[in-house]
């Protein structure tokens, strides 16, 4: 989810000692290798589809046994009062990096990512669009994943962050506004003591990936990308092709809605617009974050608008 600055610190301070103790108590088997096999990156699943041990993004979300074993993390979630999606503890070994990249897909467009350092050191550098911070243990940060970002651990100990993904919530929006006004003043942060927040009303997202995307959502994402592209003849031609695609999608939506019987027809429309954009070389249009427009359209819209259903196998907790 795009925000108006690369990095935003929320006016919250959590107990780093309690967080570190909870994480240290988890068994070594809780830590899973990064699904992309990025060296030195591992994670503990905390919120997943149905609470199973998986890296999947889609499906009704629920806490894993690992989250249930961390009562203070549950308090942090309750304090922020958001609706929670897939969330994890994320580890970065000494000398390891998260390579420079941009998160483009549908999931990233619809979610905010909150980082709360649990264990860190002065050698950890989080960079987003050229702005670098060393997040202190217990602080609470949001960043714009649609901008170029990377992480480096130049220290001698493993860095661990609590990483919470969310579509948001009324209190979280208020905290973001407070954070914008307060800046990074440590005095503005409210300390949330362990045992001070009730956790009985946590909310988990139940709907997160459309079976077939509505015409209004497709148009929203297309407009979001076109607004950032450089004006010119190529953008005008691209816009014309996409407008035709949107009208055809709208006609199908009016006839079938999200009925899976029309999935092949939606897919045919997607393949047609992909061919048209390739023909006019839309890839020559590059967004401010360095991502070609055709790639952004493909990952944000075309891959998510009418995906073929596919079961996601669970990951063995022993891996």
Q: Where on the phi/psi map is residue 130: left (φ > 0), alpha (ψ -120 to 50), or beta?
A: left
Q: What is the mean pLDDT of each run of 10 residues along the chain (319 residues)?
A: 90 98 97 86 96 92 98 98 97 95 93 97 96 97 95 96 96 95 89 96 93 96 96 96 98 96 96 97 95 96 86 42
Residue position matching structure tokens 């993904």:
165
Whose tokens are 């610190």? That residue is: 9
Rounded Cα gap, residues 125 and 134, in angstroms: 5
Q: What is the pTM of this model?
A: 0.91
Q: Return the residue matching tokens 């990095």.
A: 7
Q: How far is CA 77 from the centre of its chain?
A: 16
pLDDT of residue 309: 65
Cα 73-9-33 angle, rounded to 5 deg: 50
Distance, in Å, from the CA atom of 274 to the CA atom of 267, rounded to the nearest integer, reads 11
DSSP 292: B
Pick the closest to residue 111 from 85, 90, 129 (CA basis): 85
The span from the CA of 214 to the CA of 225, in Å, is 17
42 strand-pairing partners: 33, 91
pLDDT of residue 310: 57
- Span 91-140, pLDDT tens digits: 999 999 999 999 999 999 999 999 999 999 999 999 999 999 999 999 99
Tokens encoding 81: 């009062």
**Alpha-carbon dihedral angle through residues 230, 294, 267, 260, given to the nearest 10 degrees:** -70
The SS3 of residue 182 is helix
Give residue for tokens 């956790």: 199
Tokens of 110: 């619809």
Residue given tokens 């092709």 in the structure block: 241
Token duo for residue 98: 């998260």
């Amino acid at each position: 989810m795009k925000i108006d600055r690369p990095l935003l610190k929320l006016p919250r301070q959590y107990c780093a000692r309690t967080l570190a103790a909870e994480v240290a108590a988890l068994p070594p088997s809780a830590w899973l290798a990064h699904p992309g096999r990025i060296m030195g990156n591992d994670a503990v699943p905390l919120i997943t589809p149905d609470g199973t041990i998986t890296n999947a993004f889609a499906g009704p979300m629920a806490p894993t046994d690992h989250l249930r074993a961390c009562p203070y993390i549950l308090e942090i979630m309750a304090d922020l009062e958001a609706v929670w999606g897939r969330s994890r503890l994320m580890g970065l070994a000494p000398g390891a990096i998260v390579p420079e990249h941009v998160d483009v897909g549908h999931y990233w467009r619809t979610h905010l990512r909150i980082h709360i350092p649990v264990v860190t050191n002065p050698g950890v550098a989080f960079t987003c669009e050229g702005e670098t911070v060393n997040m202190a243990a217990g602080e609470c940060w949001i960043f714009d994943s649609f901008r170029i970002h990377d992480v480096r651990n130049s220290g001698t100990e493993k860095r661990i962050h609590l990483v919470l993904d969310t579509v948001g919530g009324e209190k979280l929006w208020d905290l973001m506004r407070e954070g914008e006004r307060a800046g990074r003043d440590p005095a503005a942060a409210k300390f949330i003591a362990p045992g001070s927040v009730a956790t009985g009303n946590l909310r988990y997202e139940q709907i997160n990936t459309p079976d077939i995307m509505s015409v209004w959502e497709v148009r929203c994402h297309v407009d979001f990308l076109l607004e950032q592209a450089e004006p010119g003849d190529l953008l005008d031609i691209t816009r014309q092709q996409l407008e035709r695609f949107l009208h055809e999608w709208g006609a199908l939506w009016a006839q079938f809605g999200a009925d899976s019987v029309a999935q092949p027809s939606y897919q045919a429309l997607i393949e047609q617009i992909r061919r048209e954009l390739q023909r006019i070389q839309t890839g020559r249009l590059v967004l401010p974050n360095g991502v070609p427009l055709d790639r952004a359209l493909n990952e944000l819209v075309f891959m998510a608008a009418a995906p073929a259903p596919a079961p996601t196998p669970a990951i063995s907790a022993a891996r």
